Amino acid sequence: DTSQVRWSWQFPNGKTANVQYPPAMFYNDAGQFFIHTEVVNSSGCKDTEIKRLLVNPLPTVKLPATLTTRTGTPVQIPATYFGGVVNYTWTNGESLNCTTCPEPVASPKFNTNYRVDFIDSNGCRNNGNVQVVVFCNNDNVFVPNTFSPNGDGSNDVFYVRGKGLSRVKTLRIFNRWGQVVFEKANFAVNDASAGWNGSYNGAKPVADVYVYQLEIWCDNSTVVKFEGNIALIQ
């Protein structure tokens, strides 16, 4: 037909078009709808067509807005998916145990936002986000309250232990007269060779109660400060 043809489209999203090939249409609601098309040529001949359109619902995910964990303590991201999800892709995978799992385990050193993009069996896509907040406090650090430097190979050294910790910033130990009997800065955590063996000025350890002051860097660059007592026993 070489005559001029007029097109009329009516779409269920409320839009219309008057060209043969209308632009792509987007639908915000799932359900079954109908597209109406009418075509008329210059002689007045016309035809109509109605086609059924099925709009599948988008898949969704239920995620907490925020998760909180201590440095050095992994946390699993609890995600519940709806809509037949078959594929998952997480961002910031360097601190996840898996980037294609539905509920990966996160081990961030710093506050981190994780995004998951997922696809259902119909090819429909959606995404979700969760923020993991990392904190560090005294609970990350273990400092014994007694040690016995008697050379028996058991608990001979007083040293700082813990997890989610970067390095000890400073450690000072005082005797009951306020003298500094041990002082060290910028050394590793969980390292017995960096601790105090109880000696002072080359003399043998003296059984007593000492006071320590500790500053320590966490993996997330915060600094924890506290003090306590340590009993040296023979």
HEC states along 113-141?
EEEEEEEECCCCEEEEEEEEEEECCHHHE
Residue 139 has pLDDT above 90, yes or no: no
Mean pLDDT, residues 3-14? 92
Pairing of strands 80-82, 105-106: unpaired
Residue 70: strand pairing partners: 135
Cα(114)–Cα(125) distance, integer angstroms? 17
Residue 8 has pLDDT above 70, yes or no: yes
- The DSSP string of 40-107 is EETTS-EEEEEEEEEEPPPPEEE--SEEEEETT--EE---EEES-EEEEEES-GGGBS-SSSSSPEE-
Contact 45, 4 (CB under 8 A): no
Cα(126)–Cα(31) distance, integer angstroms? 18
Mean pLDDT, residues 75-81? 97
* Radius of gyration, CA atoms only, the chain: 34
Instruction: Name the token pair of 145.
Output: 């309250």
Instruction: Name the token pair of 168.
Output: 């000890």
Mean pLDDT, residues 169-195? 95
Chain mean position to CA 158? 34
Cα(219)–Cα(166) distance, integer angstroms? 5
Cα(74)–Cα(106) distance, integer angstroms? 6
Give 3-state DSSP helix, strand, coil % of the chain, rounded to 5: 5, 50, 45
What pLDDT score was predicted for residue 138? 82
Mean pLDDT, residues 21-36? 93
Computed over every residue of the chain, the mean pLDDT equals: 93
Pairing of strands 66-70, 125-135: parallel
Residue 41: strand pairing partners: 5
Model confidence at 65, pLDDT cuts 50, 70, 90, reads very high
Cα(117)–Cα(38) distance, integer angstroms? 39
Per-residue model confidence as pLDDT tens digits over 38-50: 999 988 899 999 9
What pLDDT score was predicted for residue 1? 56
What pLDDT score was predicted for residue 129? 97
Residue with tokens 């915060």: 222
What pLDDT score was predicted for residue 156? 93
Per-residue model confidence as pLDDT tens digits over 189-209: 999 999 999 999 988 899 999
